[in-house]
Amino acid sequence: MYVCLCKGVTDSQIRAAIHNGADSMRELRDALEVGTQCGKCARTCKSLLKDSRPAH
């Protein structure tokens, strides 16, 4: 599904970026440009970051 409609970024793209080492909103923004327009996707991006972080 699309997380960021402004930039047409899907949750699987975001998960892939996280898998490749992005561990902050800033890194996701650098990699995929999510959150660079309306910012409505930021909350979903943050919860994907939280969910995808390995539990220590």
Kindly list the residues in this chain that would bind ligand FES in the complex (CB under 6 A): 4-7, 34-41
Single-letter amino acid code for the residue at 2: Y
From the CB of 26, what's the least distance to ligand FES, in Å? 14
- CB crowding 6-38: b at 16 or more within 10 Å, else e: ebebeeebbbebbeeebeeeeebbebbebbeee
Closer by beta carbon to ligand FES, 24 or else 36: 36
Closer by beta carbon to ligand FES, 26 or else 40: 40
Closer by beta carbon to ligand FES, 29 or else 52: 29
